[in-house]
Structure 1
Amino acid sequence: MLVAEILKSAGEIPDPYVKAVTYAKIGEELARKSHPLYKQAFLKAFESLASIDDPFGMLKALLSIGVSMGRVRIKAYRRVFVRVLSESRSLAPPQRDELLKTASLALLGLGDIGEAISFAVEIGDDVLRQTTLVSIVRGISRSLEVNPIKTAYRLRKMKLALEYITDEPYRSKALFELSKAFVTLGSYSGAFSAIRDMGSREWAKQAFKELAFSLSELGVVENYVDSFTALAEELSQKFDENLALEVATVLALAGRGSLAAQMLRKFGDESLFEAVALDVLDKNPSALPEFLGALNAEEALLVGRALMNRILEEPTPDKRGIVNTIARFVRLEEVWTKVARFYVLIGDVESARRIGLSLQNQKLRSLVMADVAHHYLKLGEVEKAIDTALEVREGRFASLLMSEILVKALNKELEGLRNGKARITQEKAGEQD
């Protein structure tokens, strides 16, 4: 179908709103291809507006035309947006606010940040106005990640938008986006300042964690330990809630395990040791030695148990190095028992057996050696299973284990005999045939 025929067919669309929008889309596509009929398409789009009786519908169609023109950088699109802003004043507040929000976000998409803010601040509803401004701040922040050109200009616009966001949690949401923008630009002090200005407890904590994680991934978190500590103290006073967990995690991730432990002891919540250790396990296992090495026996037991329980949920050979680290720094038999279990589960029975033989606690030794013996039995190594069972120090437990092994060994032997006899019978039958 020729372009002229497409334009003619669009004129047959009965709904004037759809007709105007369709002409605008056709004009947009033609302009992209530098086709000379694009001007005619846009002209017909404007002509179609006269048939739209509803003022709100007419302005929505006009806005759609302006967006299509803006996408192909036809300069007149700005005049279209100005007309929308001017004529929208005759609409009822809810309709006008909806139209202004759409126009504001469209301008943001077109890269006209200043105009996007101007349209947003015209929105009458407080919540809709501030959520729209937050979306603008978020959009600017993400544009910095893609293209840092004109950074100073965009930062100024973010701060301008923030001046109109006065209520919580909207202001804190916008400051969160600003802090992320500062990280993208490498201005970490700016990120700290943005978080310091937040008025929402939840968003401040979220931003704090995000900043800690980002600087950790960038490998610079250790340079900002004092800044994190100071910020945590300020936020703790501001929201009457200690941020020991967040700060200790930052310190531990930075390889400052001793400082992390000191801070946790200061707040006196034992469960925080486990939480920090598990966070380090997930995000930076190489920092575990420094943290584990700073713990006393009681703390080490809590942490070692928590770490091994997490690892035992998905035991894989690639975690051997982490497990070895735990075993080296947490020299407690309860934790070593879990380490032995890990080795059994990944198939390294000999390592598990060596750990079991080193245990002095009779109950723990019995548990490990029983586990090892059962695994030997599964492998068909009956003699090793019996030798292992003899290493169990608890008399009754050893007796029960030996009894179980012997019965299972007998069953396997009898099963083998039955299979052998059956095979011989089949062979004889075959010879008779």
Structure 2
Amino acid sequence: MLIREIIETVDIIHDPYLRATTYAKIGERLARVKDAKFKLVFLKAIETTREIDDPVKTFQALLSVGYSMKKAGLHSAKKIYQRVLEDSRELPDPVRDDIMVLAARYMLGLGEINEAIIYAMEIKNPSLRDTVLLQIIRRNTSLIGTEKVKVAYRVRKSKMALEHISTEPYRSKALIEIMKSYFLMGSYENGIAVIKDIDQKEWAKRAFKEALFFLKERGVIEKYVPNLKEVARYLVEKFGDEFKIELGVAFALAEEPVEAADLLRKLEGDRALVKVALRLLDVAPGHLPSFIRVLNEREATEVGRALLNIFLENPNEGDWETIRAIWERSRSEEVRVKIARYSLIKGDIEGAMKIVEYIENERLRSIVLADIAHRLLKMGDVSKAIDVALEVRDPKFSSILIAEILIGALDRELEAKVMVNGKAKNHA
């Protein structure tokens, strides 16, 4: 169909709401290709809204038409929104709130942050208003991440929206978005300081964690440790001892592991120390060795066990300096078995064999030797695997292990022989 025919055919749509919004969408597309008929089509869209009997539907149609006009670059779209803003005041609050939400979201879709805030502030329901304002702030933050200009302007707009958020958790969530905005613009001190304004403990904790991860990713965490410590101290006073975990992390990052450990011992003992160690593994693993080296043997065993469990599941997260620190501070044979297993995973068979010398428990020693023997078998060194199996002091266990090695070696040999040019060879 020709464009003119398409425009004329819209008139057969019975529902005036659908007819008006269809005209608007056509007008938007015609404007995009610079077809002069787009203004006439928008005029038809506005005229059609007058045929709608339901005032709520009328306002919804006008907002949709105005949205399309704005996308088409027509300045008159703003007048339509102002008309809806004024004329809808006669409606009951819950009904008008829905219309203002729609208006704010249309403005948000256009990137008109200031206009979106204006319509959001007209919403009477506090929870609904705060939900929309938070959406606006989040959208603003995402724009900061993609723009090189207007960054300070956008942060000001987010702070303006924040001033009108009165309920939780929306206010705390909005503050986290503003913290992120400061980080995105490189204003790290201001971003860290925002955490102090969060009044809910769980959200303050989340903000502190996000700050640590963000600063780590940007490679600036070391520079802002004093700021993190100052905020963590403030949060301990504000929320109580539970926040000492965050303060412990900050002390460890500040290369004050003794102070970190002393603080955490008074809180939850070994459990708190493990929590901080795992957090350091996430945000700054280079600080783990010095943290572990100030722990006593029992503490180092608990922390070492937790870290090695992660290293065994994800070997790439392991670090030899951290493992050396665990070895130095813990004489737990269970922990040493885990270190031996990690050594095997990393291909250090010689290192695993040296660890065996320090394990006196027969059961644990046999487990490590069995692991080493199986690794040697996998590498094809059957003779050395049997030598290792013979070192197992329990004759029964040693015999079982040797039998496993021999059967395993035979299976490997047969598998290699029966495969010829990708096909099984018949040896019957």
Name the TM-score class by shorter chain: 0.7 to 0.9
The match for 1:308 is: 308
Counterpart Cα distance in 1 of 2:93 and 2:380: 81
Moved more, 167-176 or 13-22: 167-176
Larger radius of gyration: 1
Map of 1:134 onto structure 2 = 134
Q: How far apart are 1:147 and its partner, in Å?
A: 1.6
Structure 1 vs Structure 2 CA RMSD: 3.0
Q: 1:322 aligns with which of 319, 322, 329?
A: 319
Local SS of the residue matching 1:244: helix
Q: What is the rounded CA distance, in whole Å, between the counterparts of 2:73 and 2:364 in structure 1?
A: 75
Map 1:71-86; keep pairs closer than 5 Å: 71-86=71-86
* TM-aligned CA deviation for residue 412 of structure 1: 7.4
1:103 counterpart SS class = helix
Paired residue for 1:391?
391
Deviates more, 1:80-89 or 1:126-135: 126-135
Q: In structure 1, what is the equivalent of residue 296 of structure 2? A: 296
| Range with bigger deviation, 287-296 or 20-29 | 287-296
* Structure 2 spans left out of the alignment, 5+ residues: 416-426
Structure 2 counterpart of 1:402: 398
Q: How much does 1:234 deviate?
A: 1.9
Alignment of 1:50-65 (within 5 A): 50-65=50-65
Per-residue CA distance 1:191-247 (angstroms, 9 max, x = gap): 233221111122111111111211122222222223222222222222234212223
The amino acid that maps onto 2:368 is V
How far is 1:120 from its partner? 1.3
Q: State yes or no: 1:178 paired with 2:178.
A: yes
In 1, Cα distance between equivalents of 2:381 and 2:340:
19
Partner amino acid for 1:112?
E
Offset of residue 111 of structure 1: 3.2
CA contact (8 A) 1:221 1:254 kept: no
Amino acid aligned to 1:326: I
Q: Which moved more, 1:38-47 or 1:166-175?
A: 166-175
Deviations 1:3-33 (CA, angstroms, capped at 9, x unpaired): 1111111121111111100110111111111
Residues 411 and 92 of structure 1: CA distance in aligned 2, closer, same or farther (over 3 Å): closer
Contact conserved, 2:212 with 2:283, CA < 8 A, in 1?
no
SS in 1 for 2:53: coil
Deviation (angstroms), 1:268: 4.4
Partner of 1:221: 221
| Counterpart in the other structure of 1:157 | 157
The match for 2:419 is none
Question: How far apart, in 2, do the equivalents of 1:259 and 1:213 lie?
Answer: 22
Percentage of identical aligned residues: 43
Conserved? CA contact 1:216–1:254, under 8 Å: no
Check the 8 A contact 1:222/1:251 in 2, yes or no.
Answer: no
Q: How many residues align?
A: 415
Q: Is the 8 A contact 1:180 1:191 kept in 2?
A: yes
Letter in 1 for 2:207: A
The CA deviation at 1:324 is: 6.0
1:71–1:110 CA contact under 8 A, matched in 2 = yes
* TM-score (norm. length: structure 1): 0.86
Q: Which runs of 5+ in 1 are unaligned?
A: 420-428
Offset at 1:380? 6.6
| Distance (whole Å) between structure 1 residues aligned to residue 72 and residue 354 of structure 2 | 73
CA contact (8 A) 1:28 1:38 kept: yes
